[in-house]
Amino acid sequence: MGVGLFDGMSISGSGLTANRTWLDVIANNIANANTTRTPAGGPYRAEEVVFSPGSASFSSALGNATGSTLQGVQVSGIVSDPAPFKLVYDPSSPDAVNGYVQMPNVNIGTEMMNMISATRAYEANVTAFNAAKTMDTQSISIGK
Amino acid sequence: MKIHVSLLDTTYMNSMQSALNASLLRQQVYANNIANVNTPGYKREQVHFDSILQSQLAASGQSMGISTGVVQPLSLEANNTRDIGTNVGSATALGTVSPVVTTDSSTAIGGNGNNVNVDAEMSALAENQVGYGALVQDMNDQFSMLRTAILGS
Nearest Cα neighbor of A118 from A3, A18, A11 is A18
The pLDDT, as a whole number, for residue B118 is: 92
- Mean of the per-residue pLDDT values of chain B: 78
Interface contact A134-B133, CB threshold 8 A: yes
* Angstrom distance (rounded) from CA A67 to CA A52: 18
B84 touches chain A (CB under 8 A): no
Strands annotated E in chain A = 47-53, 73-80, 86-89, 100-103
* Angstrom distance (rounded) from CA B67 to CA A141: 27
Sign (positive/negative) of CA torsion A60, A65, A67, A69?
positive
Alpha helix positions (H), A32-66: 58-65
CA atoms in the 13 A half-sphere facing the CB of B137? 6
A138 touches chain B (CB under 8 A): yes
Mean pLDDT to the nearest integer, A96-103: 94
A25 touches chain B (CB under 8 A): no
* Angstrom distance (rounded) from CA A13 to CA A17: 6
B13 touches chain A (CB under 8 A): no
Categorize the per-residue pLDDT at B94 as very low, low, confident or very high, splitting at 50, 70 and 90: low
B95 touches chain A (CB under 8 A): no
Measure in Å the smallest separation between the Cα of A135 and chain B Cα atoms. 7
Chain B residues touching residue A142 (CB < 8 angstroms):
136, 139-140, 143
Mean pLDDT to the nearest integer, B39-54: 88
Interface contact B27-A51, CB threshold 8 A: no
The answer to whether the complex's ipTM is over 0.90 is no
- Reply yes or no on whether the pLDDT at B23 is more than 70: yes
- Reply yes or no on whether the pLDDT at B75 is more than 70: no
B99 touches chain A (CB under 8 A): yes
Chain B residues touching residue A15 (CB < 8 angstroms):
31, 34-36
User: What's the whole-model pTM score?
Assistant: 0.78
Of A4-13, A33-42, A130-139, B11-20, give the lowest mean pLDDT range: A4-13
* Angstrom distance (rounded) from CA A128 to CA A47: 28
- Mean of the per-residue pLDDT values of chain A: 88
Mean pLDDT to the nearest integer, B142-152: 88
